[in-house]
Amino acid sequence: MRFEYLDDWLAWQESLNPKEIDLGLDRVNSVLRGAGLASVFNCPLITVAGTNGKGSVVAILEAVASAAGLNVCSYTSPHIFRYNERIKINAMPVDDASLCEAFQRIDQARGEIPLTYFEFGTLAAIDIFFQQQPDLVILEVGLGGRLDAVNAMDADVSILTSVAIDHVDWLGDDRETIGFEKAGIFRQHKTVICGDMDPPQSVVTEAEKKQCEFLQAGRDFDVSCEDDSSDGNWTLDSPYQVLTGLPVPNLAGDFQKYNAASAIVALQALQVGISRFKMIDLALASTAALSKIVLAGRFQKLHDRPCVFVDVAHNPHAAGALSSQLKLTASAEGKTWAIVAMLADKDIVGVLEELVSDIDIWCIAGLDNVPRGMTVEAFIKVLPDMISGPDIAVISEENRHDLAQNQCTMLSETVLLTTSVTNACREVLSRANETDRIIIFGSFYTVTEAMQFFSVNNDESSELRY
């Protein structure tokens, strides 16, 4: 074996391909063939793509299928704490030994092919799932769809959660172009579940071209609240089967009902259209699973007094959803602080503009040691005037000196600068009142660092133990 330990494998994979993101299926398809792996599993496959909502839909699919007694394999990215979180068997992350063995098999099959970090992990997940005897496999697309490594596998049902602007350097800067890329996961004569109520025409065109059964949220399936329910129970109106008395998903945001609906309708489609899919009681499984779903980093509360939330929102569409949550949970007491750190290739201005009316004091943090991470100095240059003021374009020498000495400086009465998310958490906690609230967002890296900080500094928070 090339390496004995998982960390060594992962460090090596990061340098195997000179490009962090290198879209295309040629490398993955070649290694699949070299490893003797097919493009179809021995069980049904659901592939999930979309700008936002993928992680929630996968979590719901996994929870409902598991509650029905199915053996479920799932693949997601990125992870919060440990790489193993990406590859799960019956909701449990795979162990280091299984990962290392899969990496070794993929390494032998690839020859001299320079796989990217993501491609290596995707192929390892596929390899591991072929070693199992699952009843269902769920694969989350990493970026886009058409050229993503996950798309080497042929889905029986495809879910497209949403289409919004993100990853413009790779997918384009308009919804039509992005929609075409995401619709690349659709397969001929297979079912597509579209959670976007207003999909780009490119998505509809691709579904028609491939003669897919195309089921769109708000048109072909819908959700409604039950007026006589004191618990907020809801009804799924589906062309397959109407389900009533469904509990509210244990995920923040009313929109999560539509994510749940997309997941359940996808499972219904498998039941109707795929003979090798085990018959399950979806009504019973959904009722049992929805209120127990756990998904880290989605408007997750980490601390009381002051209230601290983390959210992985990193594009304007997700920031709009986060804004809605902040408005729903707003209190007349206290101020709202934001700790934000983002990657340099994101629409930073678009994200902040979605949230500007919700935030009283901003704390800008650097992601200096993260690939594509935005430094504090670079961040300041793109801050919208409505946050920083029109005269602030660069950090002064005095500010720079304060940052170097103290890892913190005030840029204005409403803008605080810090060198890292950890320093930001420490500084804002020291300044905020107990009646204030703090929202920490901008990327998975941001949320991970914040959760690590609070797991060490908040022993009373059982929510942080994973």
pLDDT at 77 over 70: yes
The helix/strand count (H/E) of the chain reads as: 17, 18
- At 463 the pLDDT is 38
CA 175, 61, 131 angle in degrees (round to 5)? 110
Q: What percent of the chain has pLDDT over 90?
A: 80
- At 391 the pLDDT is 52
- At 394 the pLDDT is 58
CA 292, 223, 67 angle in degrees (round to 5)? 30
> What is the rounded CA–CA span in Å between residue 297 and residue 453?
14
Q: Which of 70-79, 240-249, 448-457 has the weakest average pLDDT?
A: 448-457
Q: What percent of the chain has pLDDT over 70?
A: 95
Under CATH, which architecture does the 300-464 domain have? Answer: Alpha-Beta Complex (3.90)
Structure tokens at 448: 């991970």
> What is the rounded CA–CA span in Å between residue 185 and residue 226?
35
Q: Report the candidate in 280, 25, 266, 281 with the shortest Cα–Cα distance to residue 155.
A: 266
Whether 28 contacts 155, CB under 8 Å: no
pLDDT at 96 over 50: yes
Helix, strand or coil, per DSSP, at residue 277: coil
Strand pairing partners for 418? 365, 408
Q: 96-110 and 6-14 are packed helices; what angle lies between their axes, rounded to 10 degrees? A: 40
Q: What is the mean pLDDT of residues 173-180?
A: 95
CA 460, 355, 162 angle in degrees (round to 5)? 95
Distance of CA 169 to the CA centre of its chain: 19
- At 233 the pLDDT is 93
CATH class of 6-292: alpha beta
Q: 282-289 and 256-273 are packed helices; what angle lies between their axes, rounded to 10 degrees? A: 150
Highest average pLDDT, of 149-158, 219-228, 331-340, 455-464, comes from 149-158
Average pLDDT value for the chain: 92
- At 241 the pLDDT is 94
Q: Report the candidate in 334, 326, 301, 251 with the shortest Cα–Cα distance to residue 458.
A: 301
> What is the rounded CA–CA span in Å between residue 64 and residue 290?
7
Where do we find the tokens 């889905």? 155
Give domain limits for the chain.
Answer: 6-292, 300-464
Task: Identify the H or E element spanning 302.
Answer: strand 300-303
- At 466 the pLDDT is 28
- At 413 the pLDDT is 85
CB atoms within 10 A of CB 381: 14
- At 416 the pLDDT is 93
Structure tokens at 170: 């790779």
> What is the rounded CA–CA span in Å between residue 352 and residue 386?
10
pLDDT at 393 over 60: no
- At 182 the pLDDT is 98
- At 381 the pLDDT is 86
pLDDT at 385 over 70: yes
- At 409 the pLDDT is 86
Where does residue 90 fall: left (phi above 0), alpha (psi -120 to 50 degrees), or beta otherwise?
left
- pLDDT tens digits along 320-374: 999 999 999 887 689 999 999 999 999 999 999 999 999 999 999 999 888 889 9
pLDDT at 87 over 80: yes
